[in-house]
Amino acid sequence: MKTYEEINDKIKKGKAVVVNAKEILSIVEDNGIKKASDMVDVVTTATFGPMCSSGAFLNFGHATPPIRMETITLNGVEACGGLAAVDTYIGATQPSIDKGDEYGGAHVICDLIDGKKVTLKASGKGTDCYPRKEVNVAVTLSDMNEAYLYNPRNAYQNYSAATNSSSKRIFTYMGTLGENFSNVTYSTSGEMSPLLNDPYLRTIGLGTRIFLCGGVGYVVGCGTQFKTKTQRDPNGVPVCGSATLAVRGDMKQMSTDFIRPAVFERYGVSMFVGIGIPIPVLDEEMMEHLSVQNKDIHTYVEDYSIRDGRNARIKKVSYEELFSGTVELNGKLVRTSPLSSVSKAFQIADRLKGWIEKGEFTLTRPVEMFDMHSSVKPLGPVKEKK
């Protein structure tokens, strides 16, 4: 048994033993769960995948005379009005008015992080206290008062793999799916993934300090569509999309090495988000969870050509099979490919490991744990136009 305080004490003295979620596997194999949980203090996990439910809060500062911004665009991408005078939220998946899906909110966010000038156009009706009606000005990240990424739903704990039974190639947020089950795509960092290493969220909750896109960030709540009442394997790991996280981080600390805009063909804009979460080895039970391997993690292959509510599940497969490059489907070997960068996940886990080893980053006990009996509701009956 170890407490957060004991682990942080070691971190501050530069004596903490930190390994990534892959390295821990051989340590457990060589030493067993008990000895390994004494030896290791922190395991770093990470993911770098397309996470659509992302965006940024920005505060531009006031012009003289001031304006109450009601319609706002940044490089031609619409951002939210309705947040007082000079605050806005720009969603990562919002396409630009003139360039469509080739440039969107994610590109604006990453251009700002890269230090590029972005054109802010805003208008308001003009009031006695905010007499200005229009602005058209170039802004940079350093010009802004606050700029923080705030992503309502990231780091999905598991996700279905995708295939296509129809006779036509389809283009989805799960990538290109060839006709007649010709391929399978999946999106995970598997045994490196944060929420697959802490399946019951024993150490991840409100206030958990994390690595977010190159800077320090925080878990600021459970993510939207948070589901903990879910189908699990005996090891506790969910076999479908389950828990999610809302995260926040200062854009001024971020680097586009760890956050990138994405465009999915005939789907639209998304954003690759890099998240690293340190998991304290509190006890043997925690180490049991941290020793999870790709062969112990399963998901369902779903048919993405079925979108009318019929059961689209085809087969339960392990991530070991998916990562191997082929999976058996209907008696045939079908090729598999990822959408989430595992090599980036390793970079992130090792960067975070370095921060902790140097004593620059300590662990946080969550201020509040998340609801473990949460389910997800659909949007209920929608009238179809005849």
Partner 1 sequence: MREKMKLLIHFPRHSALEPITYNLVKDYDVKINILKALVNDNVEGFLFIEADAERENLKKAVRYLKDIGLQVEKNGTSIFVDKDKCIHCGTCIAACNVGALTMDEEHHLVVRREKCIECALCVKVCPQRIIRDVFAVKQR
Catalytic residue IDs: 129
Give the count of beta carbons closer than 10 Å to the beta carbon of residue 106.
31
Q: Which is nearer to partner 1, 167 or 343 (CB)?
A: 343
| Binding-site member from 177, 251, 275, 277 for partner 1 (CB under 8 A) | 177
**Region from 29-37, 176-184, 208-216, 373-381 binding partner 1, contact rule CB under 8 A:** 176-184
Give the separation between CA 23 and CA 273, rounded to whole angstroms. Answer: 23
102 binds partner 1, rule: CB under 8 A: yes
Which residues ranging from 36 to 95 are in contact with partner 1 (CB under 8 A)? 48-50
Give the separation between CA 64 and CA 53, rounded to whole angstroms. Answer: 35
Size of the site for partner 1 (CB under 8 A): 30
Question: ω into residue 234 within 30 of 0, thus cis?
Answer: no
- Alpha-helix runs per DSSP H in 155-301: 194-197, 284-290
Question: Do the strands 100-104 and 95-96 form a parallel or antiparallel pair, or are they unpaired?
Answer: antiparallel
Enumerate the β-bridge partners of residue 172. Answer: 175
CB of 264 to partner 1, least distance (A): 6
CB of 261 to partner 1, least distance (A): 7
Give the count of beta carbons closer than 10 Å to the beta carbon of residue 34.
11
Output the six-digit token pair for 28. Answer: 């457990």
CB of 332 to partner 1, least distance (A): 15
Q: Is the dihedral angle over the CA atoms 166, 168, 171, 174 positive or is it negative?
A: positive
| Binding-site member from 178, 236, 359, 366 for partner 1 (CB under 8 A) | 178
337 binds partner 1, rule: CB under 8 A: yes
Q: Which is nearer to partner 1, 12 or 169 (CB)?
A: 169
Q: Which is nearer to partner 1, 247 or 348 (CB)?
A: 348
| Binding-site member from 196, 342, 352, 356 for partner 1 (CB under 8 A) | 342
338 binds partner 1, rule: CB under 8 A: yes
Q: Please check whether residue 183 is in contact with residue 214, taking contact to mean a CB–CB distance below 8 angstroms.
A: no
Output the six-digit token pair for 48. Answer: 């770098």
Q: Please check whether residue 161 is in contact with residue 294, taking contact to mean a CB–CB distance below 8 angstroms.
A: no
Q: Tell me the per-residue interface mask from 309 to 328 with partner 1, x by CB under 8 A, - otherwise.
A: ----------------x---
Q: Tell me the per-residue interface mask from 233 to 262 with partner 1, x by CB under 8 A, - otherwise.
A: ---------------------------xxx
Output the six-digit token pair for 45. Answer: 């996990």
CB of 47 to partner 1, least distance (A): 12
| Binding-site member from 159, 218, 272, 355 for partner 1 (CB under 8 A) | 272
Give the separation between CA 103 and CA 121, rounded to whole angstroms. Answer: 17
CB of 216 to partner 1, least distance (A): 22
Give the separation between CA 315 and CA 174, rounded to whole angstroms. Answer: 17
User: What angle (nearest 5°) sits at the alpha carbon of residue 161, between those of residues 303 and 332?
Assistant: 70
Taking alpha carbons only, the member of 304, 279, 297, 271 closest to residue 154 is: 271
CB of 151 to partner 1, least distance (A): 17
Q: Is the dihedral angle over the CA atoms 49, 50, 52, 54 positive or is it negative?
A: positive
**Region from 80-88, 133-141, 178-186, 277-285 binding partner 1, contact rule CB under 8 A:** 178-186
User: Residue-wise over 172-202: b if at least 16 C-beta within 10 A, else e?
Assistant: bbbbbbeeebebbbbbbbbbbbbbbbbbbbb
**Region from 2-10, 123-131, 137-145, 342-350 binding partner 1, contact rule CB under 8 A:** 342-350
**Region from 87-95, 174-182, 311-319, 378-386 binding partner 1, contact rule CB under 8 A:** 174-182
**Region from 171-179, 224-232, 278-286, 357-365 binding partner 1, contact rule CB under 8 A:** 171-179
**Region from 23-31, 179-187, 245-253, 288-296 binding partner 1, contact rule CB under 8 A:** 179-187
CB of 107 to partner 1, least distance (A): 10
Give the separation between CA 306 and CA 170, rounded to whole angstroms. Answer: 11
Q: Which is nearer to partner 1, 59 or 165 (CB)?
A: 165
Give the separation between CA 137 and CA 198, rounded to whole angstroms. Answer: 46
Residues near partner 1 (CB under 8 A) are 48-50, 102, 171, 175-178, 182-183, 185, 260-265, 270, 272, 325, 337-344, 346
